[in-house]
Copies of this chain bind each other. A is one copy, B any other.
Amino acid sequence: MLIARVIGNVVATQKNQRYEGASVMLCRQVTPEGKDMEYTCLALDSVNSGVGDTVIIVQEGWGASTASTGRPGAAIDSAIVGVVDYIDLL
């Protein structure tokens, strides 16, 4: 899993039926200290996250699709599975 910040959302009317009703969020990876990194990805929301939230993203198909749609096998490889309150660094 990686830490990211939600920076936008994606609007797509022509899409796979498994995406109906799901929010596709644009996320940018951040360091543990919260600094922006280069990597961005799309992830389906499963915890009602919002733009600006620091989130936990899981990147594995089976888990991601089950988490975000309640069914395995959906056409999903990344899901937001938690909103980070804070990180206890050593």
Minimal beta-carbon separation of A32 from chain B (angstroms): 6
Residues of B within 8 A of A42 (CB): 1-3, 56
Interface residues contributed by chain A, number (CB under 8 Å): 59
Contact residue among B3, B15, B41, B75 (Cβ-Cβ distance under 8 Å from A66): B75
Residues in chain B near residue A75, CB distance under 8 A: 46, 58, 63-64, 66-67, 79, 81
Instruction: Please determine whether B62 and A14 come into contact, CB atoms closer than 8 angstroms.
Output: no
Main secondary structure of the interface of A (DSSP, over half): mixed
Write the nearest CB–CB distance from A27 to chain B, whole angstroms.
10
Given A11-B88, A61-B60, residue A82 in contact with residue B32 (CB < 8 A): no
Contact surface of A with B, Cβ cutoff 8 Å: 1-3, 6-16, 18-19, 24, 26, 31-32, 40-43, 46-49, 51-52, 56, 58-67, 72-79, 81-90
